[in-house]
Amino acid sequence: MNTAKVLRKAVIPAAGLGTRFLPATKAMPKEMLPVVDKPAIQYVVEEAVKVGLTDILMVTGRSKRALEDHFDRVPSLESTLEAKGDTKKLAAIQEATNLGDIHYVRQGDPKGLGHAVLRARQHVGDEPFAVLLGDDLIDPRDELLSTMIEVQAKTGGSVIALIEVEPSQISAYGCADISEIDGENYVRVNKLVEKPDAGEAPSNLAVIGRYVLHPAVFDVLEETEPGRGDEIQLTDALQTLAAGDGEGYGVYGVVFRGRRYDTGDKLSYLKAVMTLAVDSEDLGADLRAWLPGFVGSLKD
């Protein structure tokens, strides 16, 4: 009998300051920025729920109340829409409230992604769990997380998601030194280097915001000293897990070849909106009709 527990917990860190998107994020979390007609965070929660992660813990902080409000019911709005007979909009607002069991914990001081993940320790307990960064969007038409969950179950370690980037871009990311594993759809991660200079990067494989972690990461995070930016870095804890051995050690990577957008970065955010909008049911046709003329006007 397979006694392995089904992975069902997801942690969504959304307590960062969002300085790259100021002033829009002065009083509003960047995770609430609309991507076509839904806040970015809703895509992330939907991605988790789609692969069966129905127990969600969101790590929030100052100015983040809008996040909790978004996933809560608004009875007065529901009855207004009901009275008007606007069933489409009613369904749209109810979609966000019916997504799963969402819990919240506050980070207090945003002392880094590793610190945010550590805030989930009590809720997660002693089982593997997924981490989805609240500002990192995987195109809903592409698949990543279910493969990562399978790889975690198979290896018993922790799993990170990697994308290939132009060598000149690698200095903006965490970078993985990897070894291929014969016949497998995942790689072994030997070492992680945070934001290396292009000439010193061990590969062009960049770490993106999806992780499936063994709970051994919590003990390591407790011992991890603040690193770059005086923050407790998740990458540093993963580096310890990659370098050591023992129960829950070992880090593996799944290389993602689909579409991914960093909605905390202005340009990448705009690309996400356009890419999803041209295929949206209600806006796609009109936007596609307008775009060629607009692009043509740029050449003049």
Residue 7 tokens, joined: 């992975």
The radius of gyration of the chain's CA atoms, rounded to the nearest angstrom, is 20
Span interacting with ligand UTP, options 109-117, 142-150, 168-176, 200-208, rule CB under 6 A? 109-117
Least distance CB 222 / ligand UTP (angstroms): 16
Among residues 42, 70, 102, 135, the one that binds ligand UTP under rule CB under 6 A: 135
Region of 204 please: left (phi>0), alpha (psi -120 to 50) or beta: alpha
Does 111 bind ligand UTP (CB under 6 A)? Our answer is yes
Among residues 53, 59, 96, 205, the one that binds ligand UTP under rule CB under 6 A: 59
CB of 190 or CB of 268, closer to ligand UTP: 268
CB of 81 or CB of 130, closer to ligand UTP: 130
Peptide linkage before 23 cis (omega within 30 of 0) = yes
Contact 162, 253 (CB under 8 A): yes
CB of 65 or CB of 73, closer to ligand UTP: 65
Q: Which of 260, 251, 172 is nearest to 217 (CA)?
A: 251
Q: How far is CA 176 from CA 20, 173, 232, 239, 297, in A?
A: 24, 10, 19, 10, 42
Does 107 bind ligand UTP (CB under 6 A)? Our answer is yes
Among residues 81, 113, 130, 187, the one that binds ligand UTP under rule CB under 6 A: 113
Does 112 bind ligand UTP (CB under 6 A)? Our answer is yes
Least distance CB 14 / ligand UTP (angstroms): 5
Q: Which residue bears the tokens 């608004």? A: 74
In this chain, which residue has its C-beta nearest to ligand UTP?
16
Among residues 8, 18, 216, 242, the one that binds ligand UTP under rule CB under 6 A: 18
Who's near 92: CB < 8 A, 6+ residues apart? 37
Among residues 14, 131, 206, 251, the one that binds ligand UTP under rule CB under 6 A: 14
CA-CA distance, 174 to 236, in Å (whole number)? 10
CA-CA distance, 206 to 189, in Å (whole number)? 12
Does 250 bind ligand UTP (CB under 6 A)? Our answer is no
CA-CA distance, 236 to 232, in Å (whole number)? 8
Least distance CB 80 / ligand UTP (angstroms): 32
List residues binding ligand UTP (CB under 6 A). Answer: 13-20, 59, 107, 110-113, 115-116, 133-135, 264
